[in-house]
Structure 1
């Protein structure tokens, strides 16, 4: 596919811009994309790197930083030793434990960047539907809690029965998988 602007070089960048005039999509070559980016950033002659972009996204606005600033010592991940300040500078998490350590700071950030702090993507097939069943149970428990708060007891009883059926199904799935594992281990 050729560049939409120059029509000479191969397009390597796809830009989608949503503005007051609607959605505009452009396929640009590297040179035209750089020119387009500098005009979008107010004529800034220095090219913006991905790390600069991530720093801008991950940095906390000054007012909000003062409100959320911990009064004690800076949080540091007990597993890898990374601080939240290190994360702000690099835009990268050190390890999986960092997500738990910096949860209070990361949740608002994830909501701002992704619109949600909960993953709602696809569930792998190899889990045998267990994760999907667990998710259904969690959704029904929330609905049950809401129904009880609204004193809709008949609806709450239906949710309770559905939860029990799914928990029974989940126990059966996990039992079958455990039995398969034992049979495989015995065969080896």
Structure 2
């Protein structure tokens, strides 16, 4: 959509005003919107994710494998972990792997676990993947274990507990980097 003022640039600001049950819509480019005095309330206030992450990451111990003074750097884009905590955004998809050891402790602080334990949407491709099977198996065994304990079938409960432990160990091994 073209700016309704200058009719030259792409409209990036869309305003809608309703006065006396009449709707007035205006689409402007950033320059024309600024000239009219319309400014985004978020322009001068960066998203606090960077502050939250730096607060959480500040408590995490340095990575065991890195020598003192050497910081973590993503090989894909060159982003350092310190830059990530300041800006609150990754530079590329490889950042997840590069900063994995530090991210796990942050995820544990936020969610209580570094593994996803929630439900998986039915429409998700992940649900049918090989990676999802151990998680679904763990949920099924947990449910069966609760039922066995409730019905006082303790022999079955012991068997389910052992299977559950094996599945959890498998999940932990898959989650640890090689």
Do the structures match in fold with TM over 0.5?
no
Q: Calculate the TM-score normalised by the size of structure 2.
A: 0.43
Q: Which has the higher helix share?
A: 1
TM-score w.r.t. structure 1 length? 0.41
